[in-house]
Amino acid sequence: MADSFGPVHGGSADVDGTVVDAGTDAGASRKEPIRVLVVDDHALFRRGLEIVLKQEEDIQVVGEAGDGAEAVDKAADLLPDIVLMDVRMPKRGGIEACTSIKEVAPSAKIIMLTISDEEADLYDAIKAGATGYLLKEISTDEVATAIRAVADGQSQISPSMASKLLTEFKSMIQRTDERRLVPAPRLTDRELEVLKLVATGMNNRDIAKELFISENTVKNHVRNILEKLQLHSRMEAVVYAMREKILEIR
């Protein structure tokens, strides 16, 4: 297909930044078509995607939605294999909708397809459960390839975004190494409990339930932990916990 949503810049990539060959037919041996829910607040863009994907024998567009709230309802009803969703939409954004979609359709895999190249959106999308993050500059062929790859268990991130992700992790590890040169601040037993739960991916509400304390108390503990350790985010706290073997990853 010659169609494209914008200029092609190297193709889609796996999480390590490896460009995926747009000609690879990942779903050649698939018996059932990949069921896709398209979510975007621009009706014309949704329709364009639907027309393009209908040309793929192994992909079936089973529904569409114009915002995150509608996407959650449609996902619960249709139980798609893949949700192809924009990040920024009215009523409810795509990142916020990710968590709810994973609750109502646990088997669904989510690919963010967006114009946003903001690092914060990439990190938040991954933390919310997205398996792919692609910029709308990719070609229509690459959208189909990414859908097949994610359906087969791969993670897909546009090369420029994968580079930002790896750079951030490298920077975080470097900052952690530098902090190891000085004695680590002492955390209270309760702060250590909270840090361990943060490092497992729990949100404040779940941590509060686990420890039988209020959500505000959890927020205060997290703030104190970040201040004591001179960290800037929960993601850095996770890296710190792993490097200091506060949390053992099995």
- Closest CA relative to residue 225, chosen from 191, 183, 176: 191
| Non-local CB neighbours of 233 within 8 Å, separated by 6+ positions | 226
Higher pLDDT pick, 121 / 7: 121
The kind and range of the H/E element at 65 are strand 59-65
Q: What is the mean pLDDT of residues 202-208?
A: 88
Provide the pLDDT for residue 15.
34
What is the edge-to-edge ordering of all strands in the sheet holding 156-157?
Answer: 59-65, 34-39, 82-85, 109-114, 132-135, 156-157
Which structure tokens are listed for 134?
Answer: 């692609």
Decide yes or no: CATH 1.10.10.10 for domain 183-243.
Answer: yes
> Domain spans of the chain?
34-160, 183-243
pLDDT tens profile 66-81: 999 999 999 999 999 9
Residue 208, pLDDT above cutoff 80: yes
How far apart are the C-alpha atoms of 23 and 5, rounded to whole Å?
18
Report the predicted TM-score, pTM, of the whole model to 2 decimal places.
0.56
H helices present in 129-158, as ranges: 140-151
For range 200-219, the mean pLDDT: 89
Asked: is 34-160 a CATH 3.40.50.2300 domain? The reply is yes
